[in-house]
Amino acid sequence: MSGEIVVKLFGARALLDISNDLGQVRVPTLILHARDDQVVPIDEGRMLAANIPRAEFVELDSRNHILLQDEPVWHRFCEAVRSFLQPRAGTAASPFMALSARERQVLALMTEGMSNTEIAESLVISEKTVRNHASNVFDKLGVWSRAQAIVFARDRGFRA
């Protein structure tokens, strides 16, 4: 396309603001966003997910706006899309089904405000093992931090 058309396209995109309509979305929504996206900041993806009811947000470890098949995170991307597109029994499949029993225990104790040391003592495992389980929980839920995991669990009615 010509430079003139590119300028018009980017100008039109810059003026589009649907933020006031996000709460009206009533369809299953999956938002995948590269952590270090060079075109759109990740906070924009997080804002979409926070304002669309029951949206699923998956943060991908990439800097590309358009993910490339040879990137290490490609598998995670495909897994998230497949999981999202699978038929769900009832209203929706629980995002917590992917967690092992131990990961569910660790998440439950995190939501109670326990530190890794306290969780390790409670479950009689090492603190390193708790960190490993926590990392798995973050990956499986598509969150980046303990705080995000706790909010994710709370917002989706997680019960151990």
Q: How far is CA 16 from the centre of its chain?
A: 25
Give the domain extent around 151.
94-160
What gap in Å lies between CA 160 and CA 112, rounded to an integer? 11
Q: Are 117 and 152 members of one domain?
A: yes
CATH number at residue 126: 1.10.10.10
Residue-wise pLDDT tens digits, 68-77: 999 988 988 9
- Residues 116 and 129 both lie in one domain: yes
Same domain flag for 65 and 112:
no
At 87 the pLDDT is 58
Would the pLDDT of 106 be above 90? yes
Nearest Cα to Cα of residue 53 among 140, 155, 142: 155
Instruction: Indicate the residue among 49, 67, 93 that finishes a domain.
Output: 93
> Residue ranges of the alpha helices (H) in 29-100?
42-51, 74-85
pLDDT band at 150 (very low <50, low <70, confident <90, very high): very high
